[in-house]
Amino acid sequence: METTLIIFKPDAVQRGLMGQIMTRFENKGLKVVGAKLMQISQDLASTHYKDHQGKPFYDGLVGFMTSSPVMVLALQGNNAIAVCRKMMGATFGSNAESGTIRGDFGVSNSFNLIHGSDSPEAAEREIGLFFNDGEILSYDRAIEGWVYDMSGGEPE
């Protein structure tokens, strides 16, 4: 099982979309193993977006991400990173397909509602930035056998 970081960005929080977006992930079968509402500091935003330093949009991105609380999730599931990124849709809401989070809730090319890790390495690094030891939980769900076909010993 793979674990990924998801951030409901300030626009999702301010528009009251957290519950609707979380429901999509849970309905898909992903397991919430960490969650918190938090205010991202300037330092944390700078560290998280360090790969974008020097790009024309960097200052605006850091300003946006520190402008309001965000909801940070750790989601777990089979191929969780790819599943979540597909559910999120194209980066710009104006280009995102209907049925995706950005396609259904966004039109802006600046405010795109959600962040999701793009690789296992990024997920590990990002989860370490946003969650402390002990904040990612491990637990069994009674529904796992109904979410994944486990007849072959591995989830499919």
What mean pLDDT comes out for the span 38-46? 97
Helices and strands (H and E) in the chain: how many: 8, 4
Residue listed under structure tokens 């402390």: 132
CATH H superfamily, domain 2-130: Nucleoside diphosphate kinase-like domain (3.30.70.141)
pLDDT digits (tens, 9 = 90+) for 13-40: 999 999 999 999 999 999 999 999 999 9
Residues labelled as active-site residues: 115
pLDDT digits (tens, 9 = 90+) for 49-102: 999 999 999 999 999 999 999 999 999 999 999 999 999 999 999 999 999 999
**pLDDT of 52:** 92
**pLDDT of 153:** 84
Buried b (16+ CB within 10 A) or exposed e, 113-140: bbbbbeeeeebeebbeebbeeeeeeeee
Rounded CA-CA distance 55/11 in Å is 22
Q: Has this prediction a pTM greater than 0.85?
A: yes
Q: Is 142 helix (H, G, I), strand (E, B) or coil?
A: coil
